[in-house]
Structure 1
Amino acid sequence: MNKILLPFLAASALFASPVLAQNVEFKLVNESGFTLTYFYASASDDGNWGDDLLAEIGVLESGYESTVFIGDGSDQCLYDFRFETAEGPELEEFEIDICELSTFTLVAD
């Protein structure tokens, strides 16, 4: 690489502020007493639910766990979760910090 260009490239890297999109993988443990048929997640400041995160695995019965992947490219950490169940109830959890999340256990109240 040209020695003259190197300082300019280094300086431009310091001033660049790219948005860091994230892909998050975590373990979802279903202790709700319900069979989960759909799981949606969206950034807490977004009014729209994303795609069904259980689409590839189908349903998640109570007492079971699965790995879930959120790859929506958002740079947000706080997410809302919505679960639809085979038995009817919809369960929602709000402002989950997915940046620090390794396991999420769903328990119905």
Structure 2
Amino acid sequence: MSNCRTYSVVAQAPNIGDGGATLTGFVATGSDSDVMLATVSGFKPNGGSHPTGMFLKRTVENGISGIWFRLNFVNDAANGTAWITFFQSGRPNWPANVSGTTITFDMPPWH
């Protein structure tokens, strides 16, 4: 399905956020649809922590619309590799990779 794409996100810079507690990133889809979903479709641990919950929001970074995400880990220590499957309505143009981001959880619309 063209509205879905799975990415491998490694728990290392530039995808580590919140002092090492989360994986964060941006998927520049070009779609301005707020209808989106993401699931952790796989995880290869490196230590004792594992994903516990995810936040998403549609936002714009460097002039491109897309999906911002934050994946929380138990024990506040992101580790290993997570495979995240994203869905977005509209006509997303999926990039080759997730990019690191400067967007934070408490920026609009969540401030």
TM-score, length basis structure 1: 0.37
Question: Which structure shows the higher strand fraction?
Answer: 2
Greater RCO (CA < 8 Å, at least 6 residues apart): 2
Over alpha carbons, which structure has the higher Rg?
Answer: 1
